[in-house]
Structure 1
């Protein structure tokens, strides 16, 4: 499921601010609220040949950057944005509007919008899914999601208020529910037939590639009934890998086939097996299941060229070789992720982005998001008993008198190992001391909030008594991590709490180094005004102030050339 795995990735305050700017017609303000940088200026675009600027400006007016951020690809374990990935959103003649994700997994979660030639290559991975699904970022097109899920007046399997209902009714959504239930039961060929397709299996015909088909399907020593059972299993396995949105599949294939005189489209199933669709304008489209050594077009593995006999068989069957039939992109074949996640319970209606929830569940009253918080007390095993370590008034409070704390400090100075409450108290501020596992879990939860960039959530935790002197496993303080945080001005609070503006992390870098690497120019100037050393160097000894000036030059140029009103140049 491509969605934020943490609610701090697209928090409620970000959605509210970005929506307010978007409705006011300020697309730049909306992007800034959603931590999306603008890497182009419209005056530059106006000087480019082959750019449909009027359509570009119209799309920018209706861009929902918080919705875009919601649907960006993420790392499965952390929910952080997938690094080295760029996603084209729309094409304007020879140019594309693209969203570029961070270069590093644990870097600041900022996205950059670019207008660039469509043929321009980048290091990393290109993802065209948002190019095909404008409902993922265009506020005018969000209603298309319900159609892609097979709904007309409601989402299949749900009421308009989000309650589950008995599937298989007589309405259009009931047909979708029956098709999906057949697929859930492993009866994929029947689900294709229920969707109106004539499925013809060519896998076992002479002349096709049989290299990756179970030899038992052709074993003359088996009875015809047993061979037929094995063949049915092979067909179901071939269709099981892809769960296509069958009710809209013919329409999408028809648009792809319009550019091809043969009127054919193929879908990759699995293990070099394909479904070739034709008769797309008729009442019952046809899907011929074949096996061929031609690999999918998007696979990086070099293809094994089919033999002449296979090519002759394909030409006799389709009128041309299989490799010349256009491929329907995988993102256009599958059901939307939301439908599967809602059905399985991995996603609740209240977990959806507000624009998505309004489309899928228009009768549902949105629930207020839960308040962000960390445990105020943590149970710690200490000296054979259990103590409660409290987080209050900006420090870690332990149930030990000052004399015991002084004694533990002396033992620590003599080479002893901090344990129990004392390890919890010291390890919060010193990464070289291993804290009890429950305290490590609290710090990990805090750092997930920080890495996602939820500044207001961190401010709320500080208000609740969080010790601001925390360090992560790399020795970074909250001052080091300010480039990650947005939505709240935390620098004055952290300085007032006593954090050292020049304290090094584990690799010897001061907060100013991280600000020059990742932060906006304003943060660099604020740290200098707060007394940060301008002579700070990165771990390789390079003066970071020079690199900061170089990296911010283009940002100042773009900012100066931005027109005051949308659409002016």
Structure 2
């Protein structure tokens, strides 16, 4: 068995390992509902909110478009879509504030429409819920907008589909009937490490680095020519230039060329320099085409077992023979270690009073079973008066406040798997356990408070971070949120959800200590 050291594994693979373990639990994979055409039930199981009304779509855009839309919804695998959505480091949560195109339609009167999936902003991403909607593309000088069945829809920071994260050219990442194309489109049979095109002789471009990193195995550069051909064809360009985003300030400008239509096109660096404005207007190769499928990287590194893959992903890779070719491990090999599930009745052993005592679940609560009830009551009274506690009672108290499975509970709560997190807690402490003050209770209370913020965002009551003072609708929702947090004694920590203005004030050494403000 190959041994893996944490310092030798890329950080993004460790992130994807956690994502594959916790982000799409088995309870979200509603294969039976998809099989009978219950797309709405499958969306509910995968925590996907449907922000479209087929009757309203039919009345506004006609029967033909509604027929195509309904067919796509029946083919939609929302759990597979969640599996492949873009994520951010280090937690592996969904990239916030995105609108991603899934399919394009032509409505009545030639109005272009897109079926899109949206992720909430970072401050309202509790539960990691996503939503489906229709986006009407701009026409006749009008700005594009989201079609919503409700008269007061919740605002979205970026309603326009993102060019970098588009899935309308990659239906195999969400369409259950085309998921078999995954192995061919992701380049599973190609070499695991490919080099990016060399730009050492390309002219310098303003604002761009001289050369990108050329030996990064996470780039699927071997399939860029085929993917760029699909991209340019969708944009109405048979050949031409396109860009690949390599980093926050790094972009490769490439060109798809071929001697004639009978030859396969190839990719080469653009020979002439373009102004930054023209570079920004070029088509962008989608992230799903630019990078290697994370599942393939995990399989090649031996960081995931085949039975931990999504069923449709595993079936597509197995049908092409990619699982054996990638050197993947089986279920008995080194998969992601989530820890064994706690079984009710499994005793914990503690050295107490010169003996080894057992702690196990009795009548729905964690109990020191080698002590009688009278002795336990006397010891609990002694602890209440400030006396020392028995080792058994200390172990029970520590299990309630800071259990060994707290990292797993925290990961599940972060990815929105509240039911899975509570199942772990009940398996450890029992269904009648009363949580005591400590990290475990703080995590559960924080997850509940953040779900309230998400509900306010969905209802349209808030369109910005509740601490930013921007209240959508002017009904004091932000002040109510502040009061609720103040009553709970909760001081929000500085993280990526905190607005920049508040973060700068909290981190400033010169911030005033009195009630006066500047």
Scaled by the length of structure 1, the TM-score of the pair is 0.57
Structure 1 residues 540, 276: CA separation in 2 closer, same or farther (over 3 Å shift)? same
In the alignment, what sits opposite 1:390?
Answer: 360
In the alignment, what sits opposite 1:267?
Answer: 244
1:76-115 paired onto structure 2 within 5 Å: 76=89, 78=91, 80-93=93-106, 94-102=112-120, 104=123, 107-115=126-134
CA-to-aligned-CA distance 1:409-464 (integer Å, 9 cap, x gap): 334333457674324434656xxxxx4xxx52234534545664364785698589
In the alignment, does 2:392 pair up with 1:421? Answer: yes
In the alignment, what sits opposite 1:239?
Answer: 214
Q: 1:117 aligns with which of 126, 136, 139?
A: 136
Contact 1:428 1:471 in 2 (8 A): no
1:507-522 paired onto structure 2 within 5 Å: none
1:360-509 paired onto structure 2 within 5 Å: 360-362=317-319, 373-374=341-342, 376-378=346-348, 388-398=358-368, 399-402=370-373, 404-415=375-386, 420-426=391-397, 435=401, 439-446=402-409, 448-449=411-412, 452-453=416-417, 455=419, 462=426, 466-471=430-435
In the alignment, what sits opposite 2:53?
Answer: 41
Deviation at 1:26, TM superposition (A): 1.9
CA-to-aligned-CA distance 1:325-352 (integer Å, 9 cap, x gap): 4443343222322222211122222221
Structure 1 residues 27, 269: CA separation in 2 closer, same or farther (over 3 Å shift)? closer
Contact 1:27 1:60 in 2 (8 A): yes
Contact 1:381 1:387 in 2 (8 A): yes
Give SS of 1:56's match.
helix
In the alignment, does 2:18 pair up with 1:11? Answer: no
Structure 1 residues 374, 200: CA separation in 2 closer, same or farther (over 3 Å shift)? closer
In the alignment, what sits opposite 2:474?
Answer: none
In the alignment, what sits opposite 2:171?
Answer: 134
Structure 1 residues 260, 72: CA separation in 2 closer, same or farther (over 3 Å shift)? closer
Structure 1 residues 474, 43: CA separation in 2 closer, same or farther (over 3 Å shift)? farther
Q: Partners in 1 of 2:424 and 2:217 — Cα distance? A: 45
CA-to-aligned-CA distance 1:209-243 (integer Å, 9 cap, x gap): 59987xxxxxxxxxxxxxxxxxxxx86x5433585
Q: Partners in 2 of 1:506 and 1:340 — Cα distance? A: 34
Q: Partners in 2 of 1:381 and 1:102 — Cα distance? A: 49
In the alignment, does 2:302 pair up with 1:345? Answer: yes
In the alignment, what sits opposite 2:70?
Answer: 57
Q: Partners in 2 of 1:476 and 1:517 — Cα distance? A: 25
In the alignment, does 2:181 pair up with 1:144? Answer: yes
Scaled by the length of structure 2, the TM-score of the pair is 0.61
Structure 1 residues 476, 327: CA separation in 2 closer, same or farther (over 3 Å shift)? closer
Contact 2:127 2:417 in 1 (8 A): yes
Give SS of 1:37's match.
strand
Q: 1:333 aligns with which of 268, 287, 290?
A: 290
Give SS of 1:30's match.
helix
CA-to-aligned-CA distance 1:180-228 (integer Å, 9 cap, x gap): 45x3xxxx37xx6xxxxxx67524x6xx459987xxxxxxxxxxxxxxx
The structure whose Rg is larger is 1
CA-to-aligned-CA distance 1:7-52 (integer Å, 9 cap, x gap): 454333432xx21121112211222232323222111112334893
1:15-26 paired onto structure 2 within 5 Å: 15=29, 18-26=30-38
In the alignment, what sits opposite 1:226?
Answer: none
Q: Partners in 1 of 2:86 and 2:483 — Cα distance? A: 32
Structure 1 residues 46, 75: CA separation in 2 closer, same or farther (over 3 Å shift)? same
Give SS of 1:95's match.
strand
Contact 1:378 1:388 in 2 (8 A): yes
Contact 2:243 2:251 in 1 (8 A): no
Structure 1 residues 105, 442: CA separation in 2 closer, same or farther (over 3 Å shift)? farther
In the alignment, what sits opposite 2:257?
Answer: 279
Q: Report which stretch shifted further, 59-68 or 37-46.
A: 37-46
User: Root-mean-square deviation (CA), in Å?
Assistant: 4.9
